[in-house]
Amino acid sequence: MRCMQCDVDLPDSYHVCPLCGEAVSDTPNQLPIEEAPYPDVTQSVEADVPAAYPNKHVLRVIAVLCAVFLLIGQSTLWTLFTPILLGLCALFYFVCALFEKGKLLRSGVCLLSTVAVALVLQVFGLLLRLPMLGISLAAAGCIAVFVLLCLLFPARMRAQLQATFHA
């Protein structure tokens, strides 16, 4: 096959010249070259790249905030509040991820790791005899942020959550 407009050889399977879009002519090729076809796709499949996951950064921010509140807090009350609040926060994550079946394991890991962070902070606080109010405030703040994010962007939060624990 040849395109007479462009004066080029084309594979036998082509009906239209890819350069100019004109119909091809059934003339023998000048060069003895065999076709090496590409897969027949015209739309790129969605990339293997997971979406961005600011949640990882959000978790870092939580940790920093907790540390700050831990240092400046005043009260020694509500010792048990921190893990419970942080746990609730993680639970919200968990419920968020439940929308998507098959992601349970990742969500479980998320839940456990967040509770673990809370416990570590708790132990840290007890060892240093630092007041717990700061942590509780931080936790409450985090929950507020997460609830807000999840309510504002349910689909995006879900996608980011999956991406966070993308294998």
Partner 1 sequence: MGKASSALPQDDRKTMLASQPSPLITSRWFPIDNASNLYALARRRRWNRVFRVAAVLDEPIDSDLMQQALTDAAKRFPSLCAKLRDGFFWCYLERTDETPMLKEEDALPFRPMPLTRTNQPNFRVQYYGCRISLEMFHAIADAPGSFQFLASIITRYYELKGAEVADYKAAFNCADSPTALETTDPYFETAVDCKARNPKQLETYYLREPSNKRYARVTHGVMHVSDLKAAAKPYGVTITEYLSAVIIKSYLDRAASPVTKPIRVSIPVNLRRRFDIVSARNFVYMFDIGFDPKGRTDVTFEEICNALKGQLQKKTEKENILAEISANVSAQKNPLSRRVPQPLKRLVLKNNYKKSQLSFTTFLSNYGVLELPDSVAPHVRRAEFVLGDTPYQPLGFACASIGDVLTLSVNANTPDMTMARLVFRFLTAAGVPVYIESNFHE
Footprint of partner 1 (CB under 8 A): 3, 6-11, 13-21, 29-31, 33-39, 41-45, 47-50, 52, 166
- The residues, ordered by sequence, that sit 6+ positions from 93 with a Cβ below 8 Å of its Cβ are 107, 110, 111, 114, 146, 161
11's contact among Zn ion, partner 1, none, with CB below 5 to 8 A by partner kind, is partner 1
Return the number of the residue (49 or 151) whose C-beta is nearest partner 1: 49
Shortest Å, Cβ 147 to partner 1? 27
Shortest Å, Cβ 118 to partner 1? 26
Shortest Å, Cβ 51 to partner 1? 8
Binding site for Zn ion (CB under 5 A): 3, 5-6, 17, 19-20
Q: Pick the closest to residue 55 from 166, 162, 156, 160 (CA basis).
A: 160
| Orientation angle between helical segments 81-98 and 154-164, nearest 10 degrees | 100
Shortest Å, Cβ 17 to Zn ion? 3
Question: For residues 134 and 82, what is the distance between their CA atoms, to the nearest angstrom?
Answer: 9
Q: Are 106 and 124 in contact (CB under 8 A)?
A: no
Return the number of the residue (27 or 76) whose C-beta is nearest Zn ion: 27
